[in-house]
Amino acid sequence: MSQTYGALSVLFSAAALAGVAASLWYQARQTRIAQEAARRDAHRELIILALGGPALLACWEPPATPMTAARRKQILFTNLIVTNWESDFRLGNLGPAALRGMLDGRFQGEIARAHWETGGPGWRASAEHSADTKRHQFVRIADERYTRAVAHSPAVPAADYFDPTP
């Protein structure tokens, strides 16, 4: 009888240890997600401040190709959108098929294409230095959809996005 209790005790101890390990893993994951969210929030705040005027735009690195301050603001704002999509993709809130659909629509426009032309190398470098496979996958999908859009049709000029008549 005492051997049965001993065996059960070992099983319960092993289950408790597994529960503690799972809890620690979950807490570490949640901490990492919270840290990434804080980093993204800080980055978003910096971009929003820079969108307020050309003086703060100049605090960022110069664009790879010369552009107006208005275009730079559009590119930075587009980066906020893409960063949000990347976050949703990495957290599992946005699947590959949905991401492809969103990027297909996005890369029809000239500003989104200009963003990926100038910012794509930075996204690729960031993914290359990351151990996060979802980040790698996100950039591969974005590159794939960008290349497809460029090969498929010319970009829609920003001036043609909206009907000028009320």
For the chain, give every domain's residue range.
1-39, 52-160
Residue with tokens 């820079």: 50
Which pLDDT does position 157 carry in this prediction? 93
- CA-wise closest residue to 86 among 70, 74, 103, 72: 103
Q: In Å, how far are 78, 96, 97, 142 from 149, measured between CA atoms?
A: 17, 17, 16, 10
Which pLDDT does position 2 carry in this prediction? 66
- Joined tokens for residue 135: 């980040």
- Is the distance from CB of 39 to CB of 83 less than 8 angstroms? no
Which pLDDT does position 38 carry in this prediction? 78
Q: In Å, how far are 36, 101, 118 from 98, measured between CA atoms?
A: 23, 5, 24
pTM of the model: 0.76
Identity (one letter) of the amino acid at 62?
P
Residues of the chain with pLDDT under 70: 1-2, 166
Which pLDDT does position 136 carry in this prediction? 96
Which pLDDT does position 142 carry in this prediction? 98
What is the spatial distance between Cα 116 and Cα 78, in angstroms, rounded to a whole number?
9
* Each residue's pLDDT tens digit, 64-92: 888 898 899 999 999 999 999 999 999 89
What is the spatial distance between Cα 64 and Cα 148, in angstroms, rounded to a whole number?
23
Give strand pairing partners of 109.
156
Which pLDDT does position 14 carry in this prediction? 80
- Is the distance from CB of 145 to CB of 103 less than 8 angstroms? yes
What is the spatial distance between Cα 125 and Cα 120, in angstroms, rounded to a whole number?
9
